[in-house]
Amino acid sequence: MLDTEKNLLFLHYRAYYFSMTEPLPHWYLLGAGNMGTLAAWYLTRAGHTVSVVTNSPRLPLQKQLIFANQRMSLTLPCVSPAELPPAIKHVLVASKTPYTDSALQRVKGHLNNETQVLRFQNGVGALDGRLPSGSVMLEAITTSAVKGQSPQHTIVAENVTWIGGTAQPPEWFEGLQIHWPNLHWEADIRLVQWRKLVANAVINPLTAFYDIPNGALMNDPALLDQARTLCSEADALLAILDSQWPGDSFTAVLEVIRDTADNTSSMRADYQRGATTEIEAINGWLLCQAKNQGMDLPSHRRLVEALTSTP
């Protein structure tokens, strides 16, 4: 038997043993959009249960997920804030970052220092100062891509996902890893998070401002120069924040552009329909950190100003 097969059997055994000795988590989901639905799918495959917290009581959400040519159905029960238990142990935050505060209002008073909060959003800092002291904050970063309009979610690419934020993974992680493709644990998830942040800070605002798919950035030397400058500014800041920052973000961003060439970024989609974008939690976070260091990131600042100004 191959080592990989032995490892998989071991994980299955551990997951089975854990499920027989400890109940698997029930997650309260804030934000049942593309990424929230994808996370709920993997969680339910692993035996977890998931409810969507909504201000308006309704029938269960009926979701359709399309993996390649395979269409799968997912039913997610809904609960109103009034129906929540006094204390919630597991919360999955997958709302768009501009709506984090309003999403958390639905569970206000139900979180405590034993609550595990899994943040599955773009950007950084959306939950800073918003959780009870002592609660456990886990971060999820993914390079998977999902598009579509609810209730239909097309899985464009199942890539790599990282969860982390504590020294050791929760007991439920191994079982989830079996059912969530390419899921990895990162105790110090900051560098992974920053790599994704830089890619988002380059690709998303450029494709939104110029109204182009991701791959079009590769076809215009002027746009590539802008992307290179955005990467250089971000690298200069992040190297000050962490001396271990590897730099050379432009190479990594080019790889993401190639891998997602046909995709429409979420920021472009939001900007097209006049919705509030997540730029404040992406480029805006970089600008806040730069200000604290007495720095300016002019290329990032110009994009934030352009995409947040009133047309």
pLDDT tens per residue, range 82-119: 999 999 999 999 999 999 999 999 999 999 999 999 99
Mean pLDDT of 283-301: 98
19 shares a domain with 150: yes
Q: In this structure, what token pair is assigned to residue 154?
A: 């097309």
Q: What is the pLDDT of residue 174?
A: 97
Q: Between the CA of residue 216 and those of 167, 228, 263, 277, what are the distances in Å? A: 40, 15, 10, 21
280 shares a domain with 198: yes
Q: Which residue has the higher pLDDT, 60 or 5?
A: 60
Is 224 among the domain residues?
Answer: yes
Is 110 among the domain residues?
Answer: yes
> What's the pLDDT tens digit per position in 18-40?
444 578 999 999 999 999 999 99
Mean pLDDT of 241-251: 96
> What's the pLDDT tens digit per position in 130-157?
999 999 999 999 989 898 888 999 998 8
Is 310 among the domain residues?
Answer: no
Give φ, ψ of 48 to 5 degrees: -75, 160
Is 63 among the domain residues?
Answer: yes
Q: Which of 188, 219, 242 is the last residue of a domain?
A: 188
Q: What is the pLDDT of residue 148?
A: 87
pLDDT at 9 over 90: no
pLDDT at 195 over 80: yes
156 shares a domain with 260: no
Q: Between the CA of residue 220 and those of 8, 160, 271, what are the distances in Å? A: 45, 28, 21
DSSP three-state, residue 142:
strand
Is 311 among the domain residues?
Answer: no
Q: What is the pLDDT of residue 17?
A: 47
pLDDT at 166 over 50: yes
pLDDT at 1 over 80: no
CATH number for position 140: 3.40.50.720
pTM: 0.89
122 shares a domain with 169: yes
223 shares a domain with 115: no
149 shares a domain with 38: yes
Q: In this structure, what token pair is assigned to residue 272?
A: 């097209």
Q: Which of 188, 220, 236 is the last residue of a domain?
A: 188
Contact 122, 266 (CB under 8 A): yes
178 shares a domain with 197: no
What is the tally of structural domains in the chain? 2
What is the Cα–Cα distance from 128 to 111, expressed in whole angstroms?
15
Question: What angle is formed at CA 264 by the lines to CA 263 and CA 265, rounded to 5 degrees?
Answer: 110
pLDDT at 11 over 60: no
Is 71 among the domain residues?
Answer: yes
Q: Output the DSSP codes for 201-214.
A: HHHHHHHHHHT--G
pLDDT-based confidence at residue 245 (cuts at 50, 70, 90) = very high
CB atoms within 10 A of CB 220: 14
Q: Which of 145, 162, 188 is the last residue of a domain?
A: 188
Q: What is the pLDDT of residue 310?
A: 56
CATH number for position 231: 1.10.1040.10
249 shares a domain with 102: no
Domain of 129, in residue numbers = 3-188
